[in-house]
């Protein structure tokens, strides 16, 4: 465990924190900063995961620990144009726009006009006391399960998206959050800290997309919490399209209360080394949870998806569908655990993971796990790995369609049941296009 | 139109076609009949260029061009069409997008301008009408959730849309009720004219009540053992294949 590199990097981050703190002046005594300080204290005594940790056995994080990243709060500001923003936004529909550069909110590039007065869509740095109280209340009742990366995020979390929906509020337009990351001057560490608190009977669609500002090497280390109170309906679209040199580590923590419905989409395109953690706690009865995942990887990309669904109470339903398309020497991992606790009778839990390998050198590891302590439940899981359907391929070719397009159509067809449930039509179309383009541009 | 000479083909190392000779001219309809396992579907797939089949001997000349080394997409662009015995489902790709892509790829190959959206839609409407296809079916993903009959109809719809020179229909009649069979036959007859040709691969005579063949060939054990006119199909319907197979086997026993 005591790899010297590992110690260096931790000491470096502790020093970075001191520099960060010295620039904060009066804010250093605030509530937010107290959260950062406590995260740093935990970080100091926590080791980064290694291949010996069961949850990290497929993902070697050494490349991250061997790079000297500069926390965005300490690095030189980066110039961003509206063109950079437009290029990476999903368009064709109305939305509230939040733009962050290296994890720090950019007011000029954002547009929150028309937002209902009682709804909070803000960067956490602009909070008033009343809003902070709600955040405090949430943190008081939530149990954090953080690894060293998550603690690092919370120590350097200067900014992030916070959406607070009061009870009985329906947000008609989606919120689209764009995290643009990258720097010309150094290897930047972006630490977005997002929080979505959905009140009783509230509804919203939220898109959080991580996009590259340039092709530099950088590190996005994000944490997102979603809390859906009774009857809330939340659609959450996380789109990861980082630069091909970038590292991306993200944890999404979802807590659901009675009769709430959360649909979470995790769509992974870019990044050199990617780790997506999603933890779901079904903490009441009659909850519905949907986890949809799609991961496309080529060249030497490494994409690790870990999901954990905790059925703590009876009469809940979870549906999980993850699909991977891997080419060249890419490696994909799906590790999905479903825990059905003793009290969670009448649970319905379904999990499916399917991957196609487009080359002989691509690798996929699938690790479905069901842990069931209740006796009256319906649970299933399945994992398959295969190639593109050659009969279907021939069928398309036989209509005069060229082979690259035929493959694209088959990939599109394969991804269909993950993409089809997306409720924002224009987003769905653009993602479909992105799937084809992503594999196309890499000359698969 | 197409000339097949001494065609031999293997599937996974096993010889299925053992010397097929066939000449099909423009304006003709040929029926290829035979018992299960005789090589009918293999012949259809070999002609369309399925890479699971290996041609070991012989030649296939289509409109003056050698087909054997031509990739399947180029065969289609040259004007060859295979209606599949088991049409494939393609979720997420609508019939409209699929056909528009196919038509424009074929046109591009032939040096023709792309078909405009309006022309394409007009063409779709016209052809859909021939087959009584509901417009909602066209806007759905290719064959997804289609019944067996709808899938076969969709193959004929594609045939009408792509308007090839040679149509090979692989057991298009299988699994159809009599009404669907009549509609499918109507589509084929609307397609057929003096400038194109049809090869109907079928197990039964019943489709041939509606599509009258100029020639009927009986395929058995990878070879055409008998050729004749439409009456051969009727004879087979009455007597079955056994007598023919016996006759064909006799010379070898002598």
Q: Which residue(s) pair with A297 in the sheet?
A: A326
Quick check: B254 pLDDT over 60? Answer: no
Tokens 């997409």: give the residue.
Answer: B73
Instruction: Mutate one of B90, B105, B106, B165 to test the A interface: name it (highest A CB count within 10 A).
Output: B90
State the pLDDT at residue A1: 45
Contacts of B99 in chain A (CB under 8 A): 399
Pair of tokens at residue B179: 């009404």
* Dist. CA A301–CA A297, nearest whole Å: 6
Burial bucket for residue A224 (CB in 10 Å: 0-12, 13-18, 19+)? buried
Q: What SS3 class is residue B37?
A: coil
Pair of tokens at residue A79: 């110039």
Nearest-Cα residue of chain A relative to residue B109: A400
Strand order of the β-sheet with A288-297 is A104-105, A96-101, A175-181, A203-212, A233-240, A261-268, A288-297, A317-326, A348-357, A378-386
A57: Cβ contacts below 8 Å, ≥ 6 apart = A51
HEC per residue, chain A = CCCHHHHHHHHHHHHHHHHHHHCCHHHHHCHHHHHHHHHHHHHHCCCCCCCCCHHHCCCCCHHHHCCCCEEHHHCCCCCCCHHHHHHHCCCCCCCEEEEEECCEECCCCCECCCCCCCCEEEEHHHCCHHHHHHHHHHHHHCCCCCCHHHHHHHHHCCCCEEEEECCCCECCCCEEEEEEECCCCCCEEECCEEEEEECCCCEEEEEEEEEECCCCCCEEEEEEEEEECCCCEEEEEEEECCCCCCEEEEEEEEEECCCCEEEEEEEECCCCEEEEEEEEEECCCCCEEEEEEEEEECCCCEEEEEEEEEECCCCCEEEEEEEEEECCCCEEEEEEEEEECCCCCCCEEEEEEEEEECCCCCEEEEEEEEEECCCCCEEEEEEEEECCCHHHHHHHHCCCCCHHHHHHHHHHHHHHHHHCCCCCHHHHHHHHHHHHHHHHHCCC
Contacts of B93 in chain A (CB under 8 A): 409, 412-413
- Which residue in the set A399, A417, A432 is minimally distant from B158, CB to CB? A399
Nearest-Cα residue of chain B relative to residue A389: B88
Model confidence, pTM: 0.87
Contacts of B48 in chain A (CB under 8 A): 394, 398
Across B86-91, average pLDDT: 95
| Cβ contact A280:A318 at 8 Å | yes
Contacts of B50 in chain A (CB under 8 A): 394
The phi and psi torsions of B113 (rounded to 5 degrees) equal -70, 155
Burial bucket for residue B239 (CB in 10 Å: 0-12, 13-18, 19+)? exposed
- Which residue in the set B52, B71, B93 is minimally distant from A413, CB to CB? B93
Nearest-Cα residue of chain A relative to residue B163: A399
pLDDT digit string (tens) for B63-76?
Answer: 999 999 999 999 99
Using the beta-carbon criterion (under 8 Å), do A413 and B91 form an inter-chain contact? yes
Domains in chain B and their CATH numbers?
Answer: 2-253 (3.40.50.300)
Contact with chain B for residue A321, Cβ under 8 A = no
DSSP assignment letter at B114: P
* ipTM score of complex: 0.95
What does the pLDDT profile of chain A (444 residues) look like in tens digits?
Answer: 445 555 588 899 999 999 998 888 777 678 888 889 999 999 999 999 999 999 999 999 999 999 999 999 898 889 999 999 999 999 999 999 999 999 999 999 999 999 998 898 887 777 888 888 888 888 888 878 899 999 999 999 888 899 999 999 999 999 999 999 999 888 999 999 999 999 999 999 999 999 999 999 999 999 999 999 999 999 999 999 999 999 999 999 999 999 999 999 999 999 999 999 999 999 999 999 999 999 999 999 999 999 999 999 999 999 999 999 999 999 999 999 999 999 999 999 999 999 999 999 999 999 999 999 999 999 999 999 999 899 999 999 999 999 989 998 999 999 999 999 999 999 999 998 888 777 665 443
How far are the Cα atoms of A118, B101, B123, B125 from residue B118, in angstroms, in the given order? 48, 15, 8, 11
* Cα dihedral A378, A203, A176, A416 sign: positive
| d(CA B84, nearest CA chain A) in Å | 8
| Cβ contact A221:A149 at 8 Å | yes
Contact with chain B for residue A392, Cβ under 8 A = yes
Residue B215, H or E segment: strand B215-220
């Amino acid at each position: 465990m005591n790899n010297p590199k590992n110690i260096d990097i931790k000491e470096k981050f502790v020093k970075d924190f001191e520099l960060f703190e010295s620039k904060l002046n009066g804010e250093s005594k605030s509530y937010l900063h107290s959260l950062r300080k406590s995260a740093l204290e935990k970080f100091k005594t926590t080791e980064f995961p290694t291949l010996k940790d069961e949850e990290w056995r497929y993902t070697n994080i050494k490349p991250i620990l061997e790079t000297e990243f500069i926390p965005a709060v300490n690095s030189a500001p980066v110039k961003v144009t509206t063109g950079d923003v437009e290029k990476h936004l999903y368009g064709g529909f109305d939305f509230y726009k939040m733009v962050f550069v290296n994890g720090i909110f950019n007011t000029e590039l954002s547009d929150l006009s028309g937002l209902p007065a009682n709804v909070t869509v803000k960067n956490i740095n602009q909070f008033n006391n009343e809003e902070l109280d709600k955040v405090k209340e949430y943190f008081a009742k939530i149990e954090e399960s953080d690894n060293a990366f998550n603690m690092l995020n919370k120590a350097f979390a200067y900014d992030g998206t916070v959406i607070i929906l009061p009870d009985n509020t329906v947000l008609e337009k989606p919120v689209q959050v764009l995290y643009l990351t990258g720097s010309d001057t150094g290897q930047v560490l972006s630490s977005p800290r997002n929080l979505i608190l959905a009140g009783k009977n509230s509804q919203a669609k939220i898109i959080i997309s991580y996009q590259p500002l340039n092709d530099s090497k950088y590190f996005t280390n994000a944490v997102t919490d979603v809390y859906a109170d009774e009857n809330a309906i939340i659609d959450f679209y996380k789109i990861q399209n980082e630069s091909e040199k970038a590292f991306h580590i993200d944890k999404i923590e979802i807590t659901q209360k009675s009769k709430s419905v959360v649909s979470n989409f995790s769509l992974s395109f870019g990044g050199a080394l990617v780790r997506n953690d999603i933890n779901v706690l079904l903490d009441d009865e009659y909850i519905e949870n949907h986890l949809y995942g799609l991961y496309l990887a080529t060249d030497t990309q490494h994409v690790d998806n870990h999901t954990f669904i905790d059925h703590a109470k009876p009469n809940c339903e979870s549906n999980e569908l993850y699909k991977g398309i891997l080419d060249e020497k890419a490696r994909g991992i799906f590790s999905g655990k479903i825990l059905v606790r003793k009290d969670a009778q009448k649970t319905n839990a379904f999990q499916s993971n399917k991957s196609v390998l487009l080359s002989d050198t691509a690798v996929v590891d699938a690790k479905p796990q069901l842990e069931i302590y209740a006796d009256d439940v319906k649970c299933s899981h399945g994992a398959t790995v295969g190639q593109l359907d050659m009969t279907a391929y021939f069928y398309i070719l036989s209509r005069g369609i060229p082979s690259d397009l035929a493959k694209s159509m088959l990939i599109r067809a394969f991804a269909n049941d993950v993409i089809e449930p997306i409720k924002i039509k224009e987003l769905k179309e653009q993602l479909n296009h992105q799937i084809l383009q992503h594999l196309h541009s890499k000359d698969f | 139109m197409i000339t097949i000479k001494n065609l031999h083909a293997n599937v996974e190392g096993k010889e299925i076609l053992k010397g097929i000779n066939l000449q099909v001219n423009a304006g003709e309809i040929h029926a290829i009949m035979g018992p299960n396992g005789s090589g009918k579907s293999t012949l259809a797939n070999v002609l369309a260029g399925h890479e699971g089949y290996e041609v070991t001997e012989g030649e296939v000349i289509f409109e003056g061009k050698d087909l054997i080394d031509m990739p399947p997409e180029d065969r289609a662009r040259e004007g060859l069409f295979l209606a599949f015995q088991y049409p494939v489902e393609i979720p997420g790709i609508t019939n409209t997008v699929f056909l528009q892509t196919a038509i424009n790829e074929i046109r591009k190959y032939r040096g023709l301008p792309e078909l405009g959206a309006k022309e394409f839609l007009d063409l779709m409407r016209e052809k859909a009408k021939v087959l009584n296809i509901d417009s909602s079916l066209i806007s759905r993903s290719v064959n997804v959730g289609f019944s067996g009959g709808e899938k076969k109809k969709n193959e004929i719809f594609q045939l009408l849309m792509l308007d090839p020179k040679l149509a090979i229909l692989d057991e298009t009649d299988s699994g159809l009720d009599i009404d669907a069979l009549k509609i499918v036959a109507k589509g084929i007859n609307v397609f057929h004219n003096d400038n194109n040709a049809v090869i109907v691969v079928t197990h039964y005579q019943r489709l041939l009540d509606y599509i009258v063949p100029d020639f009927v060939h009986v395929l058995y054990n990878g070879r055409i053992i008998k050729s004749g006119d439409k009456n051969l199909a009727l004879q087979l319907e009455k007597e079955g294949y056994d007598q023919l197979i016996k006759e064909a086997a006799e010379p070898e026993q002598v």
